[in-house]
Amino acid sequence: MKSSVIIFPGSNCDRDMDVALKKFGFKNQMIWHNNPTIPKSDLIVLPGGFSYGDYLRCGSIAAKSKIIKSVIEFANSGGLVLGICNGFQILTETGLLPGILQQNIYQKFICKNVHVKVNDKENKYFSSIKKEILELHIAHNEGNYFCSNDELKSLKDNSQIAVTYCDKNGKESEEFNPNGALSNIAGIFNKNKNILGMMPHPERVIDKSLSSNDGNFFFENLIKNLK
Amino acid sequence: MKVKVIVTLKDGVLDPQGKAIQQTLNGMSFSNVKQVRQGKYFDIEVNIEDEEKAKIKVEEMCKKLLANLVIEDYRIL
């Protein structure tokens, strides 16, 4: 399975993602944003970081970069596109995913482990995943997911809410919502569920020596589903 | 010519920075401050002389990049 990680100026989780993808058997290639095309891939990843210094709005400048046209074409033809953190912000700014990531409600950069619940398994990302409540890492200042009431209804009606913040037993409540996100949303799909954007970083928790290794469940399962 | 644009959050969209500024002003004894909404200001110089044509172009820029219409409104001054 071939994957491509797109690097923008200011991306800083690109290499973590590279390590994670390779660990689980992806043949990964790193692609600089100035490339007009992307080599043949089974998965494209927009990594976390602070592309273009978060100027204007997080992800807004990257969403207009040269390579994005190829990402959009790939996504629209059914290709798998995964956006983590800043990658999620970029996906909303391109319009591939609805809504926007606003500043965290308490105006703090949050860097900690959280639990998220897998809400939908009818997709390539989470189908047959062995664990449904994952301990993943978040590190963001703008992770407060917002969309209109109509869009939220549409997300719910089409089972597009991928992962939600919860406690370790899967209980969702405001108490376990770190950033004020609507309906505890930590990640969403597009309607076809080939595009996934999420704030938590599975690539940061892929080894026992780290604070969690639940990222293993995500990547192991993803490559298995793609084969 | 120069075109000025103001981008603000739509009514009802939470503005944590505006809220913090309001609370700080209240704490500085500006007790009559009821609400602050923070926005962005752009001064755009375009090489179009006709004002109407320039504003049409800038409006396109607002829709495509300067404002995110999910949460923001824009005003061309």
Q: DSSP assignment of chain A, as one string? A: -EEEEEE-TTB-SHHHHHHHHHHTT-EEEEEETT-SS--S-SEEEE--B-GGGG-SSTTTTGGGSTTHHHHHHHHHTT-EEEEETHHHHHHHHHTSSSSEEEPPTT---EEEEEEEEE---SSTTTTT-S-SEEEEEEEES--EEE--HHHHHHHHHTT-EEEEEE-TT----GGG-SS--GGGEEEEE-TTS-EEEESSBGGG--STTSS--THHHHHHHHHHHH-
Helix (H, G, I), strand (E, B) or coil at A195: strand
A179 touches chain B (CB under 8 A): no
Question: DSSP of A178-189, one letter per residue?
Answer: SS--GGGEEEEE
Q: Rounded to an integer, what distance in angstroms lies between the CA atom of residue A16 and that of residue A5?
A: 10
**Alpha-carbon A210 to chain mean position:** 20
Tell me whether residues B20 and A103 touch, CB distance under 8 A. no
Q: Do B14 and A148 touch (CB under 8 A)?
A: no
Q: Among this protein's residues, is A58 annotated catalytic?
A: no
What is the DSSP secondary structure assignment for residue A199, as one 8-state letter?
Answer: S
Total CB pairs under 8 A between chain A and B: 33
Give B13's contacts in chain A (Cβ within 8 Å): 102, 146
Q: For residues A183 and A146, is the Cβ–Cβ distance under 8 A? A: no
Point out the least confidently predicted range of A4-13, A133-142, B14-23, B31-40: B14-23
Catalytic one among A93, A140, A142, A203?
A: A203
Query: Quick check: A154 contacting B, CB < 8 Å?
Result: no
- List the domain range (segments joined by +) for residue B48: 2-76
For position A122, which CATH number holds? 3.40.50.880
Q: pLDDT of chain A along its 227 residues, tens only? A: 999 999 999 999 999 999 999 999 999 999 999 998 999 999 999 999 999 999 999 999 999 999 999 999 999 999 999 999 999 999 999 999 999 999 999 889 999 999 999 999 999 999 999 999 999 999 999 999 999 999 999 999 999 999 999 999 999 999 999 999 999 999 999 999 999 999 999 999 999 999 999 999 999 999 999 99
Given the residues A115, A137, A140, A201, the one annotated as active site: A201
CB contact under 8 A, B14 and A180: yes
Token pair for residue A134? 């994952």
- Record: contact B13-A146, CB cut-off 8 A: yes
Domain hosting residue A61, numbered range: 2-226
Q: Is the dihedral of CA B63, B68, B70, B73 positive or negative?
A: negative
Measure CB to CB from residue A57 to each of B13, B20, B68 and give the nearest one.
B68
Give the residue ranges of DSSP H helices in chain A.
14-23, 68-76, 86-94, 149-157, 215-226
Q: CB contact, 8 Å: B70 with chain A?
A: yes
- Spell out which residues of chain A touch residue B66, defining contact as CB-CB under 8 Å: 56
The shares of helix, strand and coil residues in chain B, as percent rounded to the nearest 5, are 35, 25, 40
Number of domains, chain B: 1
Q: Give the gap in angstroms from C-alpha A204 to the nearest C-alpha of chain B.
A: 29
Provide the Cα torsion A56, A58, A63, A68; round to 10°: 140
Which pLDDT does position B73 carry in this prediction?
A: 97
CB contact under 8 A, A107 and B20: yes
Check which CATH number belongs to the domain holding B29 and give it: 3.30.1280.10
Predicted complex ipTM:
0.84
Number of neighbouring beta carbons within 10 Å of residue B34: 7
Question: Which phi and psi (to 5°) does residue A96 adopt?
Answer: -70, -30
